[in-house]
């Protein structure tokens, strides 16, 4: 078995699974459409495909909350697109884990859009958790 065999097997799985996930496909397709509009709005760019703000681009003053919202929305879009691919390959439980994560990212984005003053504490928590992991502490994901 080589890569060509695996790619043919995946293509066959996609052809079989596409009809079985029609309801989920329609829902995910609508979610991608909605998220792309949100992405265009928060990125202030009608042609955006994906733009992750790098730390060097982040203004640590008034735009910090906007940067976090942009990154969360972009994470949600990636999760929905990848979930669609997993559904086509028959990996339903993995796909719905990504969908849950995308929903969570959207919830956080909405929260920080409404409460930008909370972003600083959120970012400090992320730094704290990273530090604990680096120090060897077992910290649950999520």
What is 25-69 written as a DSSP string?
Answer: HHHHHHHHHHHHHHHHHHHT-TT-S--PPPGGG--SSTTHHHHHH
CA 36 to chain centre: 12
Residue 123, token pair as written in the block: 């970012």
Q: Which residues are CB-neighbours of 126 under 8 A, at least 6 positions away? A: none
Q: What are the residue ranges spanned by the domains of the chain?
A: 3-114
Tell whether pTM > 0.75.
Answer: no
Q: Give the span between the Cα atoms of 83 and 24, in whole angstroms.
A: 10
| Per-residue confidence (pLDDT) for residue 18, from 0 to 100 | 85
| Per-residue confidence (pLDDT) for residue 2, from 0 to 100 | 92
Q: What is the pLDDT along the chain (142 residues), one digit of tens a residue?
A: 899 999 898 888 888 888 888 888 888 888 888 888 877 776 666 555 444 455 555 455 446 677 888 888 888 989 999 999 898 888 889 999 999 999 999 888 888 888 888 888 888 877 787 777 787 777 666 5
Q: Which residues of 93-119 are buried (b: 16+ CB within 10 A; e: fewer)?
A: eebeebbebbeebbebbeebbeebeeb
| Per-residue confidence (pLDDT) for residue 94, from 0 to 100 | 92
């Amino acid at each position: 078995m080589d890569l060509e065999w695996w790619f043919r097997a995946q293509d066959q799985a996609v052809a079989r699974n596409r009809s079985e996930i029609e309801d989920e496909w329609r829902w995910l397709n609508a979610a991608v459409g909605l998220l792309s509009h949100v992405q265009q709005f928060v990125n202030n760019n009608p042609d955006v495909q994906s733009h992750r703000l790098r730390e060097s681009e982040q203004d640590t003053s008034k735009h910090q909350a906007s940067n976090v919202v942009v990154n969360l929305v972009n994470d949600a879009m990636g999760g929905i697109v990848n979930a669609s691919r997993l559904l086509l390959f028959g990996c339903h439980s993995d796909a719905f884990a990504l969908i849950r994560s995308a929903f969570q990212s959207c919830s956080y984005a909405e929260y920080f859009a409404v409460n930008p003053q909370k972003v600083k504490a959120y970012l400090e928590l992320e730094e704290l958790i990273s530090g604990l992991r680096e120090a060897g502490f077992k910290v649950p994901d999520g």
